[in-house]
């Protein structure tokens, strides 16, 4: 009888780990109770697809730089992945169709209005079936997959820090064809709302806006905490928020927050597991900058210690400040990188500095360019566990254990390249579900 029960226990234990592959194997499909976070690499911007424990799905960003952008023709930019036979939005949609439990996206979030996060308009972009807008980034993904809820920082009036519907040409912040891009986005929203897509503005401080839609009662320890939206940052207590930036002075353009500083930020909680993502929020203030451009410090105060952190602004020089590194103390850093300044040399030095925090940490990047290696040198190879590929975080039921799985970004079949872990989620005083 004792042997019988041992055998049953052993089989149950083995079954719990059948979703963890080995290098060279196909990726085992997501199952109920698991949390999968796919950092999709197209070489053209950020895109992360989440399968939550009850099969609710979420996409954060769908970057697509214009193929006419001169940056793409230099060694400072990553190659398109897997190849140029499809456009980035097509590759993102194809990836989601392969891994999703259903061919639909429940929530999509646009962290901010930059091309590498939501897509850039360009004259040759294909038109939607309706002919009313063109397909790039999120507008392209939503043409290929049903999108039920779209969340951004500006809906419905898009008037912060200026009237984006009418003044995008004048105040577009240097983005290529920004006014055309925003006009295309607004045309997309108008049509999709008529087809029952819901639109929301992210509400900082809330943990009830993005929720499990299929079986929330089965996973009471799961929630998504909204940290920041526009000028509003959660204080870390209840649903209280503060306005980080003062009211807009229309006479002083230099005092306005830039688009990166207005990025959305979230913390995802599953039992003891905590994951932070924050778009292009900056934290390092350079000479001549508005000191309020440091939004990472109040973000970090609200978030506290985490298991996994996405490097703000891809690890660029104006982000991932020392206070954030010291406060978040992630076991795993993930960089959604595509440029030779991802990461900045000094940023990498901070992330790996054991005097800032002594704990172990593993670093992963979707792309690492030769240009980075030439400038930064051997610190890159010493620091990164993986420098190329899609990055999947697979959290086991309950959130106590997780793995980092690297998938081949040159193979549409998503072959497993390497597996890291198991990692044990931290005991975190900021998580009320921690036992």
25 lies in some domain: yes
What local confidence, expressed as pLDDT, does residue 1 receive? 45
Domains of the chain: total = 1
Name the residue among 237, 288, 298, 293 with its Cα closest to residue 260: 293
Buried b or exposed e, range 263-296, using 16+ CB within 10 angstroms: bbbbbbbbbbbbbbbbbbbbbbeeeeeeeebbbb
Across 155-161, average pLDDT: 97
What local confidence, expressed as pLDDT, does residue 219 receive? 98
What local confidence, expressed as pLDDT, does residue 21 receive? 85
Mean pLDDT for the chain overall: 93
User: Is pLDDT of 280 > 80?
Assistant: yes
Across 400-405, average pLDDT: 98
Across 413-426, average pLDDT: 96
Spatial strand order in the sheet of 416-424: 198-201, 147-152, 105-109, 57-60, 48-51, 35-39, 390-395, 401-407, 416-424
Q: How far apart are CA 10 and CA 1, in angstroms?
A: 14
CB atoms within 10 A of CB 73: 10
Rounded to 5°, angle at Cα 234 from 224 and 335 = 60
What local confidence, expressed as pLDDT, does residue 10 receive? 38
* Percentage of residues in the chain having pLDDT higher than 90: 88
Query: Counting beta carbons within 10 angstroms of the beta carbon of residue 199, is it exposed (0 to 12), middle (13 to 18) or buried (19 or more)?
Result: middle
Q: How far apart are CA 284 and CA 297, in angstroms?
A: 9
Q: How far apart are CA 182 and CA 186, in angstroms?
A: 6
What local confidence, expressed as pLDDT, does residue 5 receive? 38
- The pLDDT confidence band at residue 251, using thresholds 50, 70 and 90, is confident
Q: Which two tokens stand for residue 301?
A: 């105060």
CB atoms within 10 A of CB 434: 18
User: Is-cis flag, bond preceding 422, omega within 30?
Assistant: yes
pLDDT, tens digit (0-9, with 9 covering 90-100), for 36-94: 999 999 999 999 999 999 999 999 999 999 999 998 999 999 999 999 999 999 999 99
420 lies in some domain: yes
CATH number at residue 88: 3.60.15.10
434 lies in some domain: no
What local confidence, expressed as pLDDT, does residue 212 receive? 98
246 lies in some domain: yes
What local confidence, expressed as pLDDT, does residue 9 receive? 38
431 lies in some domain: no
Name the residue among 228, 162, 179, 169 with its Cα closest to residue 201: 228
Rounded to 5°, angle at Cα 350 from 346 and 355 = 140
Q: How far apart are CA 108 and CA 152, in angstroms?
A: 8
What local confidence, expressed as pLDDT, does residue 2 receive? 46
pTM of the model: 0.95
Across 406-432, average pLDDT: 89
429 lies in some domain: no
Residues in the chain: 435
Across 84-110, average pLDDT: 97
pLDDT, tens digit (0-9, with 9 covering 90-100), for 344-382: 999 999 999 999 999 999 999 999 999 999 999 999 999
User: Is pLDDT of 168 > 80?
Assistant: yes
252 lies in some domain: yes
User: Is pLDDT of 135 > 60?
Assistant: yes
pLDDT, tens digit (0-9, with 9 covering 90-100), for 173-232: 777 799 999 999 999 999 999 999 999 999 999 999 999 999 999 999 999 999 999 999
- Residue 151: which domain range? 2-424
- Please give the residue that has the higher pLDDT: either 116 or 432: 116
């Amino acid at each position: 009888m004792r042997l019988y029960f041992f055998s049953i226990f052993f089989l149950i234990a083995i079954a719990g780990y059948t979703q963890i592959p080995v290098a060279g194997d196909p990726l085992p499909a997501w199952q109920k109770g698991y949390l999968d976070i796919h950092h999709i690499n197209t070489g053209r911007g950020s895109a992360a697809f989440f399968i939550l424990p009850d099969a609710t799905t979420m996409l954060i960003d769908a970057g697509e730089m214009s193929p006419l952008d001169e940056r793409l023709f230099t060694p400072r930019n990553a190659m398109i992945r897997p190849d140029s036979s499809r456009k980035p939005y097509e590759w993102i949609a194809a990836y989601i169709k392969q891994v999703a439990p259903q061919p639909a996206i429940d929530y999509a979030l646009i962290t901010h209005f930059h091309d590498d996060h939501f897509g850039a308009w360009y004259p040759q972009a294909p038109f939607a079936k309706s002919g009313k807008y063109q397909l790039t980034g999120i507008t392209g993904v939503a043409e290929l997959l049903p999108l039920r809820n779209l969340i951004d920082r500006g809906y419905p009036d898009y008037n912060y820090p200026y009237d984006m519907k009418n003044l995008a040409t004048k105040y577009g912040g240097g983005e290529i064809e920004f006014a055309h891009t925003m006009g295309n986005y607004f045309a997309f929203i108008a049509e999709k709302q008529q087809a029952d897509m819901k639109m929301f503005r992210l509400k900082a401080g809330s943990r009830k806006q993005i929720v499990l839609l299929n079986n929330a009662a089965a996973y009471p320890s799961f929630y998504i905490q909204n940290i920041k939206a526009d000028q509003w940052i959660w204080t870390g207590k209840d649903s209280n928020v503060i306005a980080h930036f003062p009211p807009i002075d229309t006479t002083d353009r230099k005092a306005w927050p830039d688009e990166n500083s207005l990025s959305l930020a979230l913390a995802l909680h599953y039992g003891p597991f905590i994951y932070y993502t924050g778009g292009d929020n900056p934290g390092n203030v350079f000479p001549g900058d508005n000191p309020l451009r440091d939004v990472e410090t109040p973000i970090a105060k609200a978030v506290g210690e985490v298991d996994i952190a996405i490097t703000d602004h891809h690890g660029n020089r104006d982000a991932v400040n020392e206070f954030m590194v010291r406060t978040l103390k992630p076991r795993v850093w993930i960089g959604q990188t595509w440029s030779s300044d991802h990461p900045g040399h000094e940023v990498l030095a901070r992330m790996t500095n054991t005097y800032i925090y002594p704990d172990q940490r593993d670093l992963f990047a979707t792309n690492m360019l030769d240009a980075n290696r030439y400038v930064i040198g051997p610190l890159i190879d010493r620091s990164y566990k993986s420098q190329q590929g899609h990055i999947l975080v697979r959290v086991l039921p309950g959130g106590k254990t997780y793995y980092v799985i690297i998938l081949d970004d040159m193979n549409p079949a998503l072959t497993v390249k390497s597996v890291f872990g198991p990692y044990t989620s931290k005991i975190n005083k900021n998580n009320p579900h921690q036992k």
